[in-house]
Amino acid sequence: MTSYEQQVLNTEQYYNMEMQLVELEDQEILPSYVTGDRLHEKIHNPIQEGIDEG
C-alpha cells in the first residue's frame, strides 16, 4: 500500500469514528446529497456539466 493509500484509509477511519461519536451524542448528521438536486453532479462532473474552469 502506498503512503497516499494509507493516508486515504486513515482519513476514512478518522471520519467514520468521528461520525459514530457524534451519533452517540444524539446529534443529527445531515446528508451532503439531496435527492433530485443536480449540484452534486455539477461539482463532481464539471466538464460534462459545463462548469469546468480548466
Residue 54 lies inside a defined structural domain of this protein: no
Q: How many domains does the chain have?
A: 1
Predicted TM-score (pTM) of the model is 0.47
Residue 30 lies inside a defined structural domain of this protein: yes
Q: Which residue range forms the structural domain that includes residue 44? A: 3-49
List C-alpha distances in Å: 50 to 17, 23, 37, 43, 54.
Answer: 36, 37, 16, 10, 11
Residue 5 burial by Cβ neighbours in a 10 Å radius (0-12, 13-18, 19+): exposed
| Cell numbers for 34 | 439531496
pLDDT digits (tens, 9 = 90+) for 4-30: 999 999 999 999 998 888 888 887 777
